[in-house]
Amino acid sequence: MRRKANSCLAQDTVTDNSLERITLANPNFLSDLSLVAVDGDEIVGCMMGVRRTKSPQEVVRAQREVRHVILFFVTEEHRRKGIASMMLEELEERYRKAGVSRIRACDFAGWTLFSGGGLDVPRGHFVPRG
């Protein structure tokens, strides 16, 4: 998965450590919010979502109805075929069923890489404005 993501991301690279941090080591990661698109036995796309359920608590409370997309890619040769739209529609449907009113796309850096790392996140830092 990491190699495939790196082949699709023009600016960022995903290390084994960072992929683990945003998935298995992330207390907010839920596998049911992750989608993988395949063509035969080849991974051609991925969309990973998270919901704040565990930490930090002030952000969990402020973002009850917010979910995030933390990693997303489609291989270049499979773009413009509706794969991204299908994955987003499926993730939106799962979020909608959970009562979510807002989806936010996160860049790969930021809180997803450091989740559970003891960072002191200021109150309201991730709260949508307006």
pLDDT in tens, 5-32: 767 766 666 777 877 887 778 877 778 8
Residue 75 belongs to what domain range? 2-113
The count of structural domains within the chain is 1
Question: Which of the two residues, 115 and 3, has the higher pLDDT score?
Answer: 3
pLDDT for 10: 61
Residue 51 falls inside a structural domain: yes
Question: Which of the two residues, 34 and 56, has the higher pLDDT score?
Answer: 34
pLDDT for 4: 77
- Model confidence at 127, pLDDT cuts 50, 70, 90, reads very low
pLDDT for 51: 80
Partners of 36 in the β-ladder:
46
Contact status, residue 113 vs residue 73, Cβ threshold 8 Å? no
Partners of 10 in the β-ladder:
none
Domain at 107, CATH number: 3.40.630.30
Please write the tens of the pLDDT for every residue from 58-100.
878 888 788 888 888 899 899 999 999 999 889 888 888 888 8
> Between β-strands 102-105 and 66-74, what pairing exists: parallel, antiparallel or unpaired?
parallel
Residue 91 falls inside a structural domain: yes
> Which of 115, 118, 120 lies closest to 24, judged by CA?
115
Residue 71 falls inside a structural domain: yes
> Which residues fall within 8 angstroms of residue 42, CB to CB, at 6 or more apart?
none
